[in-house]
Structure 1
Amino acid sequence: MRGTPWTRRRGFRSPIGAVATLVAIALLAVVAAQFWPPPAALSGQARAVDGDTLRIGDSRVRLVGLDAVELDQNCRDASGAEWPCGREARSFLDRLIEKTTTTCATDGHDRYRRVLARCRAAGGDLGEQLVRAGWAVAELEYGLALAEARLNGRGIWAGRFDDPADWRRSHGADDDDFWSWLMGLFGR
């Protein structure tokens, strides 16, 4: 029986093309590792600057995956009374890191020249602990901790607050000139 013009015979294909492709990918990975080494670790005694920023030695470290209320930000409790939630967030972070070594896996710099990192102290992820205690809004990675804090009315979720990004915009804290923004892109 002859094949029709619409059928195609499949024969044995040589694995040489697949092997060559895998070798090329492996070589590219080795070269990329030389140009983009894994993030450096930063470790030491830390102190809280605000609810989501630490200082370890000369480095300012911004925790990624969350946005804590700003240091000068106030929130309202369930009865409508104002309270200094930004200062409370910093105090909570200070308690997490006091008398222990903080270790951070760095991931670049932000436009304010802070090191972006995920940090741990006393065996726990600082970002997760901040979000779970209700001191920050968070991205999807901390979604379960955020849901738990909201459900239980912890920290800022016990009343009303402005989203930290909105609060910064309304208080002029997000204004930055072009050159600072550009230098931040290059980690300077």
Structure 2
Amino acid sequence: MQLPPSESVSNCTVTDGDTLRCGEERIRLLAIDAPEKPGQCRAGRTCAPGDPFASERSLRVATKPTMTIRRVDADRFGRTLALMEAEGKDLSCHQLENAAAIYNPNWDTGGYVFALCGEAAARRSLTR
């Protein structure tokens, strides 16, 4: 599998369990859905189960001052959909392995996350 090209990013901040901001760029981690903070789950939507604050802490612990980004696409909200890596560890995989998010195969453009951590993705899949 050929991954998209990578580049270095720095000074990113965690917005929630599946979103970061690096400068002006809003980045949504590819193929995962983290629990929403209170009042953030839109009416009629089934939101990811779990503790949104624990999910955010999990992602914050995994982020580093400089990371690698592989941009895949953009979502309907204008966020970059991307694979993010910190010290060689994919952040979507980190969130799945720590039960801080669920895997949505419909959002796995290119099948990258399943290829990187299929066991964790299968265990935390939306379609289980």
TM-score using structure 1 length:
0.48
Listed as ranges, the matches of 1:24-173 within 5 Å are 41=7, 43-72=9-38, 85-98=51-64, 100-140=65-105, 141=114, 142-147=117-122
Larger Rg: 1 or 2? 1
The runs of 5 or more residues in structure 1 that have no matched partner are 1-37, 74-83, 151-162, 164-188
Question: Larger helix proportion, structure 1 or 2?
Answer: 1
Q: Runs of at least 4 residues of structure 1 off by over 3 A?
A: 38-42, 146-150
Which one has more relative contact order, counting CA pairs under 8 Å at least 6 apart? Answer: 2
Superposed CA deviations along residues 43-97 of structure 1, whole A, max 9, x for unmatched, are 1121110110001111110001111111227xxxxxxxxxx70011011101111
Identity of aligned residues (%): 30
Cα distance in 2 between the residues matched to 1:39 and 1:111:
22
Tell me the secondary structure at the aligned position of residue 60 of structure 1.
Answer: strand
Checking the alignment, whether the CA contact within 8 Å between 2:21 and 2:27 is kept in structure 1 is yes
Q: Which amino acid aligns with 2:55?
A: A
In the alignment, the residues of structure 1 paired with residue 93 and residue 6 of structure 2 have an alpha-carbon distance, to the nearest angstrom, of: 21
How many residues are aligned here?
103
Relative to total residues, which structure has the larger strand share, 1 or 2? 2
- Is 1:66–1:138's contact at 8 Å kept on the other side of the alignment? yes
AA partner of residue 80 (structure 2): V
Q: CA deviation at 1:147?
A: 4.7
Task: Give the RMSD, CA atoms, in angstroms.
Answer: 2.5
